[in-house]
Amino acid sequence: MTCYLRLHELAVAVHPDVTGADWDVAHRRWLQADGVRGRDDAFEAMPVTLIELDDLPDTDLSPFAGVVLSGRSDQELLASRRDDIAAFLERGRVVVFSGRLTTDWLAGATPFERDGGDVAPPGSPELAEHPMFDGVSADDLGAGFLYRDGWHRPPEGAEILARRPDGTPGAYANRNASGGTVLVHGGTNLLANAVHDTSAARVVPQLLAWVGAQANRGAGAAL
């Protein structure tokens, strides 16, 4: 597992049609990547466009189904774009965030609340029936999939996607009135599961497919 190679610098914009991508090719590149260039090569084989986070304010997101953001994202910068991100969601698009929400930049999401820490029980997550987790073993995701020291309290009506070993929600999806969706995951970037040579890696193409499907069924502007 690597932490920094590229993911934290990016907003990963998901294409509306993910069907043409060959995940096996991309996954091989993820497994072989030994630096930033290797990560970029892997992304090239995926149905995504990489946006340097610092370029986000000047980027037109309208062609994309959604964006996936890392826990190391600059949340001060994101907070300065709160209205743009809300407008993106109002068009029925998807924002996926893994990490701990410390500033109020994501409409429809809740802030990170600390609890537990080292005294929380370690263990694998409990996964909901969800396309992102098809064929994924909770044990392959392991104890690191969800933070032990805190969680995002799901808003009323949100779909719980994964629970921590103590039963508290660790990830949820929340759909707003216009069909836009936020997925909030209290853990390491979901895309980082691509570095595993286990069923955990399936999360990645299945997440992208889910993002595309959510955006295309939304009531917002057509993709």
Binding stretches for another protein (CB under 8 A): 1-5, 8-9, 34-36, 52-54, 71-77, 99-103, 112, 114, 117-118, 147-149, 188
CB 68 to another protein: min, Å: 15
CB 172 to another protein: min, Å: 17
- Find tokens 């990016």 and name the residue: 10
Closest CB to another protein among residues 54, 83: 54
Closest CB to another protein among residues 114, 217: 114
CA distances from 173 to 20, 56, 73, 188 (A): 26, 23, 19, 16
CB 101 to another protein: min, Å: 7
3-state secondary structure of 69: strand
CB 220 to another protein: min, Å: 28
For 204, residues 6+ apart whose C-beta sits below 8 A from its C-beta are 23, 27, 190, 191, 193, 194
Q: Using alpha carbons, select from 89, 91, 99, 105 the residue that is nearest to residue 174.
A: 89
CA distances from 219 to 114, 117, 180, 184 (A): 35, 40, 8, 21
Closest CB to another protein among residues 147, 172: 147
Closest CB to another protein among residues 24, 52: 52
Closest CB to another protein among residues 85, 215: 85
- Find tokens 């029980």 and name the residue: 121
CB 219 to another protein: min, Å: 31
